[in-house]
Chains A and B, each alone.
Chain A
Amino acid sequence: MTWQDGWWAYAFIAIAGWLATDIWRWLGVVAGNKLRDDSEALNWVRAVATALVAAVIAKLILYPTGVLEQSPLWLRVGAVGLGAVAFFLFGRKPAIGIATAIAALALGLWWLGF
Chain B
Amino acid sequence: MIEIKDNPELPMDREEDEQSSLAWFGRGMRGIFSLPAFILMLSFVGFCSLTAQAGIPVQQVVFMVGMVWALPAKVILVSSMMSGANLAAAFLAVSLSSVRLMPMVAALVPELRASRTPTWLLLFLSHFVAITAWVFAMEKVPQVPRERRVAFFAGFGITLVAANMLLVAVVYHFVADFPPIIAGCLFFLTPVYFLASIWHSARHPVVYVALLFGLVGGPLFYWLFPEFDILLAGLVGGTLAWLVERLWRQRKEVGV
Contacts and interface: CB of A to CB of B under 8 A. Distances in A.
Contacts of B145: none
A92 to B, nearest CB: 6
B213 A51 contact: yes
A94 B81 contact: no
B165 interface: no
A57 B107 contact: no
Interface stretch (B9-17, B23-31, B166-174, B204-212): B204-212
Contacts of B193: 94, 98
A105 to B, nearest CB: 5
A52 B107 contact: no
B37 interface: no
Contact of B101 (A21, A54, A64, A109): A21
Given A18-B68, A24-B98, A52-B100, A58 B110 contact: no
Given A17-B67, A55-B237, A76 B119 contact: no
A41 to B, nearest CB: 9
Interface string B87-117: 1001100110011111111111111010000
Given A16-B91, A55-B233, A97-B192, A47 B129 contact: no
Contacts of B94: 16-17, 20-21
B176 interface: no
B214 A55 contact: yes
B239 A47 contact: yes
Nearest to B53: A66
A21 B96 CA distance: 9
B103 A21 contact: no
Contacts of B100: 24, 49, 52-53, 56
B163 interface: no
Chain A at the B interface: mostly helix, strand, loop or mixed?
helix
Interface residues of A, number: 77
A43 B77 CA distance: 31
Contacts of A38: 1-4
Interface string B204-239: 101101111111111101100000011101110111
A50 B211 contact: yes
A16 B72 CA distance: 13
Given A57-B194, A94-B35, 16 more contacts: A21-B73, A24-B101, A35-B106, A47-B206, A48-B238, A50-B241, A52-B100, A52-B238, A54-B213, A55-B234, A56-B191, A56-B194, A57-B195, A63-B222, A68-B187, A114-B180
